Structure 1
Amino acid sequence: MTYDGLGLAEFDALPEAEANAALLVCCSSPEWARALVAGRPYPNVDALFERADAVLAELSEAEIDRTLDGHPRIGARPDTAASAREQAGVARAEDAVREGLAEGNLAYERKFGHIYLVCATGKSADELLELLTARLGNDPETERRIMRTELAKINRIRLARLLGDGE
C-alpha cells in the first residue's frame, strides 16, 4: 500500500501498525518509526520533522547500520520508488561515471564498513561521484556524522512526500 500524500491529520489518525508501515517506507529503522508513532499527534509538520531529527540523532550506531540496509548503493538499481526518484540523476549518467560510482562505492565500503549514503535528490551523477570522492578523504568519525546528516535530509524528503508536501 502507498501512503504518499496522506496529510498530517490523516497520518496522526492512522492505526499504529499502518503508521509504522508508512514510516518504515521513509526510514527502515523500526525504533525511529515507533518513536515517531508514539509522538502523535503532531501540531504541525515542522514538529514531526523536529521529532524525526531528534530521534535519528539518538539512534545507536547498530540501529543506524540497520537503517542503511534500507538504501541501495548510489548508482545501483533502485529497489524502491523513493530511491528511483532520489537517484534519477544517475539514470542518465555516462558509463564512465557509473563505473566511477561503482568503484567509489566499493572503496568507501572497504574504508568505512557501510554504504555511501548521500541525499541524492536533485543531484547529477557527476555531483554524486564528486561528493563520494571527497568523502573518501574523511576519517570514520567525521563520515558517520555526515552520513547521519544525509540520512536526516532523506528522511525529511520522504516524510514530506508521505504528508503530501513533497514533489
Structure 2
Amino acid sequence: MTSTSTPPGLARFNDLEEHAALAALQEVCASTAWANRLLAARPYTTADELYAAGDAAMAELTAEDLAQAMAGHPPIGRPKPGDPTSAREQSGMAGASEKVRAEMRYMSMVYEDRFGHVFLICATGLTGEQMRDAVRERIGNSPEREREIVRVELGKINRIRLARLVEEDA
C-alpha cells in the first residue's frame, strides 16, 4: 500500500495491478517505452514526481518510440469516434468555421505528406485558428526540428493526461 500522504488518485494509480497500470499509462501515451519506464518507477509519492518521470521518459524516446506515441493521436479536427479525451482536447476545432476546418484538413494532409505523421500539437485551450496557424508555421521546419517540437508537444499532452489520471475520482 502507498503512504496516506500520497494524493488519493495517485495512490489508486500506484495500487493498480501492473497490467491495469500499463493500460492506463498507454491511454496517456501510446509509446510502450514511455509507459514501461513510468510503470517501473512506481510507486510515486507526489504528482510532480510522476510528471518528472514522464518528462524524463519523453526526453529519452527514440524516433521509433516517438512514431509509436504519435500513432495514438488522431488528426486535428478528426477526434477518434467515441473517444471523449481526443474530443475534449480538440474542442477548439469544433467551434471553428467551416473555412478554418477545411484549411486545417488540407494543411494536415500537406504536413503528413512532408513529415510522415499526423500534425501534433497540445490543442487543449487552443482555437481552431491557432491550430491552423501553428501547422502553417511548422510545415516549413526541417524534419529534425519538427521531431523535437513534437517531443515537446507530446510532453505537454502527457502531463495534462497524467494529471487527469491521478486527479480523477475512483
Q: Same fold (TM over 0.5)?
A: yes
Residue identity in the other structure for 1:29: S
Instruction: Confirm or deny: 8 A CA contact 2:79 2:90 kept in the other structure.
Output: no
**Which of the residues 84, 88, 94 maps onto 1:85?**
88
Q: In the alignment, what sits opposite 1:45? A: 47
TM superposition score normalised by structure 1: 0.92
Any gaps of 5 or more consecutive residues in structure 1?
A: none
Is residue 2:100 matched to residue 1:124? no
Instruction: Confirm or deny: 8 A CA contact 1:24 1:30 kept in the other structure.
Output: yes
Q: In the alignment, what sits opposite 1:32? A: 34
Name the % identity: 45
Q: In the alignment, what sits opposite 2:10? A: 8
Of the structure 1 ranges 75-84 and 106-115, higher mean CA displacement relative to structure 2 is found in 75-84
Any gaps of 5 or more consecutive residues in structure 2?
A: 1-6
Residue identity in the other structure for 2:80: P
Instruction: Confirm or deny: 8 A CA contact 1:117 1:150 kept in the other structure.
Output: yes
Is residue 2:48 matched to residue 1:61? no
Aligned residues: 161
Between the aligned partners of 1:42 and 1:50, the Cα distance in structure 2 is 10
TM superposition score normalised by structure 2: 0.91
> How large is the RMSD of aligned CA atoms in angstroms?
1.4
Instruction: Confirm or deny: 8 A CA contact 2:10 2:47 kept in the other structure.
Output: yes
